[in-house]
Amino acid sequence: MDSQTEPEYGPTGYLPPRASKRARKIVLRERMSLGWPIAALAAAVVIAIAGALFLRAWVSPPPPPWVAAGRLTAVELGGAGVLAAPGLRHGALIVRAAGDVRAFAAPPVTVAYCARSGHVESPEGAVWGLDGRQLGPGSGGSLQRVPVRVFDGTLYVNPTIREQLPARPGAAQAAC
């Protein structure tokens, strides 16, 4: 190339003379510096570390204040049972009826799930809905719901968070 056909502006690189007259972009034909591959590798490392941290949090049991209450198989599917849980005085009442797994701070009385009524009942005649709301006669009010998670077949409850719905006594009678 002679100096007459070579443009007087821009960085070094090759652009054919005809294209250089109407070009709006300059195509550089030079070797990239070492900074570009290093930046790409650094970005890949950052993404890999973020992915590893996400997977670690996703495949590990919940951290404290969550406590293990027992195995999921300890409570029959379609039933209810009380499991020992640190932080809950009478344990955790686990209800596996109607699809979801629900956990409550267990009342001081014996309770069972009644499939005929679809409620949790005590032998004394107290009745609670599956949301923990007291529906029938009895003392003590609604059950205190606690968050529950299942990880690798183990039930975990968070005894520091409790939710209690207002009671509706007289709305249901014990059927079992």
pLDDT higher than threshold 80 for residue 83: yes
Is residue 32 in a domain? no
DSSP codes of every residue in 33-67: PTHHHHHHHHHHHHHHHHHHHHHHHHTSPPPTT-E
CB under 8 Å to 129, separation ≥6 — which residues? 119, 120, 135, 172
Total structural domains within the chain: 1
- This prediction's pTM: 0.67
Is residue 94 in a domain? yes
Is residue 30 in a domain? no
Is residue 17 in a domain? no
Answer with the residue of higher pLDDT: 2 or 111. Answer: 111
Q: What is the domain-level CATH number for residue 139?
A: 2.102.10.10
Is residue 4 in a domain? no
| Residue 67, strand partner residues | 157
DSSP state letter for 79: S
pLDDT higher than threshold 70 for residue 5: no
What is the dihedral sign for C-alpha 60, 143, 72, 85?
positive
pLDDT digits (tens, 9 = 90+) for 13-40: 566 777 767 666 655 556 778 888 899 9
Is residue 48 in a domain? no
The answer to whether 49 touches 121, Cβ cutoff 8 Å, is no
Domain of 143 in residue numbering reads as: 67-164
Is residue 142 in a domain? yes
The answer to whether 13 touches 23, Cβ cutoff 8 Å, is no
Can you tell me the mean pLDDT for 77-96? 92
Place of tokens 């039933």: 79
pLDDT value of position 56: 83
